[in-house]
Amino acid sequence: MEPIKHIGIREGMKVSKLVEGMRDIGFGASKIGKISEIVLEMFKDKECKVFLGVAGAMVPAGMRNILMDLLGEVDVFVTTGANLTHDLIESLGEKHYKGSEKQDDSELNKMGIDRIYNVFMKKEVYHHLESFFEKNWEEFENCNNIKEFLWKIGELTGKGILGKCWEKKIPVFCPAIADSGIGLMVWGRLAEGKKIKIDAFDDMKEIIDLAWTAEKRGIIYVGGGVPKNFIQQALQFSKGADYGIQITTDHPESGGSSGALLKEGISWGKMKKQGKYANVICDATIALPLVLGYIKDKIKED
Amino acid sequence: MEPIKHIGIREGMKVSKLVEGMRDIGFGASKIGKISEIVLEMFKDKECKVFLGVAGAMVPAGMRNILMDLLGEVDVFVTTGANLTHDLIESLGEKHYKGSEKQDDSELNKMGIDRIYNVFMKKEVYHHLESFFEKNWEEFENCNNIKEFLWKIGELTGKGILGKCWEKKIPVFCPAIADSGIGLMVWGRLAEGKKIKIDAFDDMKEIIDLAWTAEKRGIIYVGGGVPKNFIQQALQFSKGADYGIQITTDHPESGGSSGALLKEGISWGKMKKQGKYANVICDATIALPLVLGYIKDKIKED
Amino acid sequence: MEPIKHIGIREGMKVSKLVEGMRDIGFGASKIGKISEIVLEMFKDKECKVFLGVAGAMVPAGMRNILMDLLGEVDVFVTTGANLTHDLIESLGEKHYKGSEKQDDSELNKMGIDRIYNVFMKKEVYHHLESFFEKNWEEFENCNNIKEFLWKIGELTGKGILGKCWEKKIPVFCPAIADSGIGLMVWGRLAEGKKIKIDAFDDMKEIIDLAWTAEKRGIIYVGGGVPKNFIQQALQFSKGADYGIQITTDHPESGGSSGALLKEGISWGKMKKQGKYANVICDATIALPLVLGYIKDKIKED
Amino acid sequence: MEPIKHIGIREGMKVSKLVEGMRDIGFGASKIGKISEIVLEMFKDKECKVFLGVAGAMVPAGMRNILMDLLGEVDVFVTTGANLTHDLIESLGEKHYKGSEKQDDSELNKMGIDRIYNVFMKKEVYHHLESFFEKNWEEFENCNNIKEFLWKIGELTGKGILGKCWEKKIPVFCPAIADSGIGLMVWGRLAEGKKIKIDAFDDMKEIIDLAWTAEKRGIIYVGGGVPKNFIQQALQFSKGADYGIQITTDHPESGGSSGALLKEGISWGKMKKQGKYANVICDATIALPLVLGYIKDKIKED
């Protein structure tokens, strides 16, 4: 048995040292240490294809740069339409704002502000979205699946998460794209009589192929939801994940996929019995910066 | 101020009496009382179109009959592919089983059992799913959107949730249908070279119309996720919901849509400022039976 | 494997039937079913001494009658000073009120109202507490430990939880009594120069004896905290609990005693390896009425 | 409105820079930023008396050094008997060990190991505790209240948290001291016929005086429980706290004191309406190191 080494905080301490210290203690901190090590290991393993699934409003919350950093290391990205809409909003020059969950919502409504917990967004962003899709609609008419549609957005803006996915040819999936501001923009054009032909099932072929053909598979889940489940489903057609970490505030006992511990995936054949995996129950805006701080310092070491 | 009336439990007490007692006390119980009252009110209001959004593995958990009962009162249903897959599995004669979250997952895997927290399912259910879609594939080839595809399943089985949606012509939406066992069955057929043309965005027109044209709108959210968000999005194109209740184990502070309090929707214009709404943080398998027990006894009273 | 029997809600359904139905499904509902069965079993087992530990502001929330009903079946009671203070407040004729967590706290303060989440209490209750202790102070001067002090309150009021503990001679422990409104009343008298001699450790002898001498031990924990921990500690000097249930909204991963699963107690020797125990993550104001509704109907059956 | 500045992680980044970055984004991270700023401000305010309340098994988890660092800045300390017992265990030369919550508890019991979530402790530590109290019993016989008793332990060991409290004459309170391993040691001596006279209420005078006489008051709550409540109660006899932060995994809706937002204290007069306060829902083993990393770098700046 390895003794708990009480964590010591020093002046000028680096984030990576802090995370190393967390690894040597107990409770949630030890999970932060463990997930950081597993992420490092899957990034360093050249045989490992890494699948990143991100739910939750991470872009409005200020995690856009961190997600873009992670996209430098991952092979497949699955997220929600909300995150991609908010990414596009920023690519079009708009911003999100620091707000408060205590603000009166009907006052905010009058002021033209949408609230996402303690983040605010001006309703006028929708005009920019409208213009973008109106101006570029013809570009989308030849897209056959959601990935092509999303890559096209990235190609057109050349910025942000979708810009990076396009530039680095990272497959980006979003099964519930209709359920987002981007979906609304498409609906708006359809209502004007314009056409588009995006197949609801077509992307499945690619993600299942990606899982099937990988030597090894690593998974990083932020927040559960459809992104987690869509990757898990693809893993069912593989030998299972070799590495896996999950950051969520959901708990297993309500029975949903979002809070299910990764080991549940072993019964399904989505995780390998001997895979390395860890779960941490933590707000991702707190946990992800710690993990990335560790990765940044350690990725270049042998 | 109304005094707390300490709840008294009597022999042979009815569920509806219990819920009435909960209404008169504090903490979570009072929320159970309040959501029950609001659901009753929206069901009794003939001008109100009710939108039910259900995430979480409610069918495996044993909530299928309760959902079918609710479908007797609601006008629009949005859920996850998982719930519809498990509904279809039962319609095809298979079952879910009482299990335990403590069971060893690699043992379960060897025994051919998939685990969903404390519920088990035999992997052999997939054979029934395969047969069903192989046998009936031609029927699906003319479906143009996800709702038509799901109604077709209901028409073919004549059973369960989808059977009821078909029979009663309840619009049923599932934006992330690809992310489910049903999605996998479609993928399997596509891999065999068969064709299908389900548009990813087409259902948006109908759900937004349904929200737009309603005199009043009521919302019932179980578990957040895409079902909640897809309905919320449609409400943005209406005057906002008049009634709303939410049952979830998620909390607002992680910033996701699933845990957001309903009042956040006021800033977006999805909820009316003066709407009646309440949130309860509770496992839906505990809260929903209480709500329905109340409704069953009260719905026939004037 | 036993199939999930989808729960069916019928008009006029009894609470006990609902709980039986919950037992046959999954997720949290099955835990409500299981804890209800275990509580029934420990109440029916004549060799079993039952220890009830209650934290959380259950009395302000409206659970006073339910706790008094439980006191009809349990042998030892441990709770917080807050619950006993609020019990005394009601015994002195004052009330708690239905409030809202959204109310402005500085407005409430001006109105003379203390808030406990969505329950309100008038600050004037403190005058009644003051009078009670001033008038009866001499009665307390001969109490040597916290239990005697609490029984004396029960003897003087003849009402409520403490009245029942005194009347039925149920040992009632409250290690952190100083941390409560009752503690403040004692402090007030001490500040006036009055004397009292309550030993901080004396009650340990009795509770450890009670655990030690029991044939079998059953535990019911509502909300963790000192009440749970004080009973757990006493069990360490026994062969361990034979039955145990826990109702809490705390989770194990933060490492506190309140959220620790009962099985953790097996490592400490506080629970028997083969004991019957179950945990449910649920608001106690929702779970306790369900459990008691089941018990009331079942306790008289053979 | 201030825009969200997407947090950027750089190689070799300092913890204090990370926390500054968190302050400028949303969701939980912004709360980490905010509590860090408030703690810094209360530490720098020379008129402010700081009350630190710590519940949860922070010492076994590896937070002992961090708590000792905090004791360099705070004026009053309230904690659980468990934390003080585990502090004493380490002062006597014993250790805690990294373990796993998945380990079989009956195996651990056979191996002589007690489990605290994912931390292990050898049962043999109790022998050291026994020897310590047997050898030094006479020293405790003149202690009149819990603070004197705890200071005496600190004087005798000259180490750890209690050693520091004694050395720096920091008042340390623990109302439920009976509910702990230290309590058991006292019980053991009482069972041998030895005597001690520790009054259950006596410490109230000092903590209420400390709150009353302070120019300003700052509060730091880790984990709720009796430590939080005992400080809150003392504040009721002051003009209310000027600064306050709370780190907990509890939520307000279950109605307990541990999860209550600090603003609830405004209704009670425990917090000032215009006080600076913030709550973060986070595992304290993750949040506290971040806060302290910020403080260490910032405390010396003007």
Sort out which chain B residues have CB atoms less than 8 A from A100's CB and list them: none
CA nearest D94: which of D114, D65, D123?
D123
pLDDT digits (tens, 9 = 90+) for B107-151: 999 999 999 999 999 999 999 999 999 999 999 999 999 999 999
Angle, helices D284-298 vs A284-298, to 10°: value is 70
pLDDT digits (tens, 9 = 90+) for C83-131: 999 999 999 999 999 999 999 999 999 999 999 999 999 999 999 999 9
Chains in contact with C, where contact requires at least 3 CB pairs less than 8 Å apart: A, B, D
pLDDT > 70: percent of chain D: 100
Sort out which chain C residues have CB atoms less than 8 A from B98's CB and list them: 1-4, 24-26, 30
Angle, helices C160-167 vs C64-71, to 10°: value is 10
**Chain D closest CA to C302's CA: distance in Å?**
34
- Binned at pLDDT 50, 70 and 90, residue D302 comes out as low
Residue B302 has pLDDT above 90, yes or no: no
CB of B160 closer than 8 Å to CB of A158? no
Q: Which two tokens stand for residue B109?
A: 């895997």
> Which ipTM did the prediction report?
0.97
pLDDT for residue B237 = 87
| Mean pLDDT, residues C26-50 taken together | 98
Residue of C nearest to D54 (CA): C256
CB of D25 closer than 8 Å to CB of A120? no
Dihedral, C77, C82, C83, C88 alpha carbons, nearest 10: 110
Handedness of CA A256, A258, A264, A267 (dihedral sign): positive
Nearest-by-Cβ selection for B255 from D27, D253, D254:
D27
What does pLDDT average to over chain C?
97
CA nearest B198: which of B157, B281, B140?
B140
pTM (2 decimals)?
A: 0.97
pLDDT > 90: percent of chain B: 99
Cβ neighbours, 10 Å, residue A236: 17
| Mean pLDDT, residues A17-36 taken together | 98
pLDDT digits (tens, 9 = 90+) for B185-216: 999 999 999 999 999 999 999 999 999 999 99
Residue of B nearest to C6 (CA): B62
- Which of B49, B270, B272, B298 is the catalytic position? B270
> Which residues of A are marked as active site?
270
> Dmax over Cα atoms in chain A, in whole Å?
68
The label of the residue with tokens 């699934």 reads: A53
**Residue count of chain A:** 302
* Three-state SS letters, chain C: CCECCCCCCCCCCEHHHHHHHHHCCCHHHHHHHHHHHHHHHHHHCCCEEEEEEECCCHHHHCCHHHHHHHHCCCCEEEECHHHHHHHHHHHCCCCCEECCCCCCHHHHHHCCEEEECCEEEECCHHHHHHHHHHHHHHHHCCCCCHHHHHHHHHHHHCCHHHHHHHHCCCCEECCCCCCCHHHHHHHHHHHCCCCCCCECCCHHHHHHHHHHHCCEEEEEEECCHHHHHHHHHHHCCCCCEEEEEEEECCCHHHCCCCCCCCCHHHHHCCEEEEEEEEEEECCHHHHHHHHHHHHHHHCCCC
CB of D299 closer than 8 Å to CB of D17? no
CA nearest C146: which of C67, C227, C35?
C227
pLDDT digits (tens, 9 = 90+) for D220-251: 999 999 999 999 999 998 999 999 999 999 99
Residues of C with CB under 8 A from a CB of A: 26-28, 31, 251, 253-255, 281
Where exactly are the structural domains of chain A? 42-296
Chains in contact with D, where contact requires at least 3 CB pairs less than 8 Å apart: A, B, C
CA nearest A129: which of A88, A95, A84?
A88
Residue of D nearest to A296 (CA): D11
Nearest-by-Cβ selection for A32 from D12, D21, D286:
D286
| Mean pLDDT, residues D178-185 taken together | 97
Contacts of C20 (CB under 8 A, 6+ apart): C33, C294
Q: Which two tokens stand for residue C146?
A: 């916290």
Nearest-by-Cβ selection for D254 from B28, B253, B255:
B28
Q: In what order do the strands lie in the sheet with D216-222?
A: D172-173, D76-79, D48-54, D216-222, D241-248, D271-281
Angle, helices B15-23 vs C284-298, to 10°: value is 140
pLDDT for residue A190 = 95
pLDDT digits (tens, 9 = 90+) for A121-164: 999 999 999 999 999 999 999 999 999 999 999 999 999 999 99
CATH topology assigned to domain B15-298: Deoxyhypusine Synthase (3.40.910)
CATH topology assigned to domain A42-296: Deoxyhypusine Synthase (3.40.910)
Sort out which chain A residues have CB atoms less than 8 A from D98's CB and list them: 1-4, 24-26, 30
User: Which of A98, A105, A148, A282 to mutate against chain B (most B CBs within 10 Å)?
Assistant: A105
> Which residues of D are marked as active site?
270
Q: Which two tokens stand for residue A59?
A: 């872009």
Angle, helices D284-298 vs A15-23, to 10°: value is 140
pLDDT for residue A79 = 98
**Chain B closest CA to A247's CA: distance in Å?**
11
What does pLDDT average to over chain B?
97
Contacts of A163 (CB under 8 A, 6+ apart): A91, A154, A155, A157
CB of C149 closer than 8 Å to CB of C90? no
Sort out which chain D residues have CB atoms less than 8 A from C191's CB and list them: 205
Cβ neighbours, 10 Å, residue A6: 19
CA nearest C286: which of B280, B251, B276?
B280
Residue B264 to residue A117, Cβ atoms within 8 A? yes
pLDDT > 90: percent of chain D: 99
Residue of B nearest to A185 (CA): B201
pLDDT for residue C116 = 98
Residue D105 to residue C251, Cβ atoms within 8 A? no
Cβ neighbours, 10 Å, residue B296: 18
pLDDT for residue B207 = 98
Nearest-by-Cβ selection for D26 from A6, A119, A289:
A119
**Chain B closest CA to D54's CA: distance in Å?**
23
pLDDT digits (tens, 9 = 90+) for A167-202: 999 999 999 999 999 999 999 999 999 999 999 999
Residue A254 to residue C26, Cβ atoms within 8 A? no
Q: Which two tokens stand for residue B140?
A: 């699906």
Nearest-by-Cβ selection for B254 from D27, D253, D254:
D27
**Chain C closest CA to B20's CA: distance in Å?**
12
pLDDT for residue C302 = 67
pLDDT for residue A302 = 67
Sort out which chain B residues have CB atoms less than 8 A from A250's CB and list them: 249-250
Q: CA of C32: how far to CAs of B58, C21, C276, C278, in Å? A: 16, 10, 14, 9
Q: Which residues pair with C217 in a beta bridge?
A: C49
Residue D12 to residue A95, Cβ atoms within 8 A? no
**What are the phi and psi torsion angles at A78 (to 5°)?**
-125, 130
User: Which of C25, C27, C35 to mutate against chain A (most A CBs within 10 Å)?
Assistant: C27
Residue A215 per-residue DSSP state: S
Residue B281 to residue D28, Cβ atoms within 8 A? no
